[in-house]
Amino acid sequence: MRGTFDYVPLTTLFPHLQKAIAAGGVEPKLLALVHLRASQINGCSACVYDSVAGGGGR
């Protein structure tokens, strides 16, 4: 038997995820590099551009 899950839009989860990442103590520059590499691996050219153009990750 399957459990039931409430639908939660992903956009409501992102602020909580960002707070958890910030609380982890990882340097912002390292997070920006991780975001850039993940964007490259995922093939998200808009995300790569955002990282390189000064967005520095989300």
Q: Judge whether 5 lies within some domain.
A: no
Q: Judge whether 33 lies within some domain.
A: yes
CA Rg, the chain, in Å? 15
| AA identity, residue 53 | A
Q: Judge whether 7 lies within some domain.
A: no
| AA identity, residue 29 | K
Q: Pick from 58, 56, 45, 54: which is nearest to 18 by CA?
A: 58
Number of domains in the chain: 1
Q: Pick from 9, 4, 12, 34: which is nearest to 21 by CA?
A: 34
Q: Angle at CA 14, nearest 5°, toward 39 and 2?
A: 100
Model pLDDT for residues 6-57, shown as the tens digit of each residue: 777 878 888 888 888 889 888 888 988 998 999 999 999 998 998 888 755 4
Look at 22 and 4; give whichever has higher pLDDT.
22
